[in-house]
Amino acid sequence: MLGRYPSGNLTVGWIPIPLWTSWSRIVTTSLGPIDLPDWAWERAEVREALRARDVGAVFRRVQQYAGASQTRIGMAVGMTQARVNEIINGRREVSRLDVYERIADGLRMPDDARHLLGLAASRERRTGGAAFDLAAFPEVVRVYAAQSSAAQEIQQQAREAQQLDVLAVRGLGLIGLNDSLLRACLPRDQGGKGLQVRIALLDPDSDALTRRAAEIGESAESLASGVRLTEARLRELADTCEVSVYRYRMLPTWRLIRTDDTMFVGAFDVGWEGHESATYKVMATPHGPLYRGFRRMFQAIIDGAEQTV
């Protein structure tokens, strides 16, 4: 509550505040910034609102994902509730850089979100260094230490997807077995409606498979049998989704899982299985090259591959 301290200062609770202190400073100091969950900043609608500098849309998502009232948002960003209401309802726009900075600070925006809004990263502001403008290329939104760290998010994305593309070597751990990462995410009772699945596996009869087997210390026969088992298990899905399986013959480099406009990208190397690789979450953006490049690469592999299912 506000009151008057014996010295003539205002008080918030029992804390004396000098009379010259602005209301925005009082409320921001007393309650502090709003913390949104990390995934909220990765939502396509939030990123689009930031890119368009649509603060009203950002505030509406803060209400949705943080459960914050207009008053609470105002306290965090140094505005009155009435001003926040005007912005949310499109009666006022934000144009001043210092206000954008205050909003970013009050919502604890991560650096990639700040870049989308056209602001320097927090570290760049502190050091005074030149900002590296990532606003047009904010594609890599998260990096996981390995596929297992991303498993829950991959499964959630797959369950909601209309399209699923997979580029793998044998694919048993991804989609070939009942307890694999993606198998349980595929529809079993929808008659295949709404889901298109394309799987690219390494040709079991290719020289590339023999070389890959040597790289990971496995016999070519064992690796080839794993590919064939995955193909056989994928044929079982023909009645539950629209599934196509292809054999490619090049030495594998990238491991891809694409769910609509999101990709999870890992890599193969000598002695290094794809699921052990760091996994990058890459999202489609209007001008970013990574998502477009990986999708183009996958399509080129499919175009040159032999379809088996």
Tens digits of per-residue pLDDT, 72-113? 999 999 999 999 999 999 999 998 888 999 999 999 998 888
Residue range 119-169, pLDDT digits in tens: 877 654 444 444 444 444 578 888 888 888 899 999 998 988 889 999 999
Supply φ then ψ for residue 216, to 5 degrees. -105, 10
* Cα–Cα separations (whole angstroms), residue 175 to 119, 166, 179, 237, 297: 41, 9, 8, 11, 21
DSSP 24: H
- Run of H or E including 307: strand 306-307
Bridge partners, residue 40, by sequence: none
SS (H, E, C) 92-155: CCCCCHHHHHHHHHHCCCCHHHHHHCCCCCHHHHHHCCCCCCCCCCCCEEEEECCHHHHHHHHH
Full-model pTM: 0.60
Domains annotated for the chain, with CATH where assigned, are 32-127 (1.10.260.40), 140-307 (3.30.870.10)
C-alpha–C-alpha distance, residues 198 and 63, integer Å? 38
Average pLDDT, the chain: 83
Q: Rounded CA gap, 265 and 302, in Å?
A: 17
Six-digit token pair at 49? 């609102």
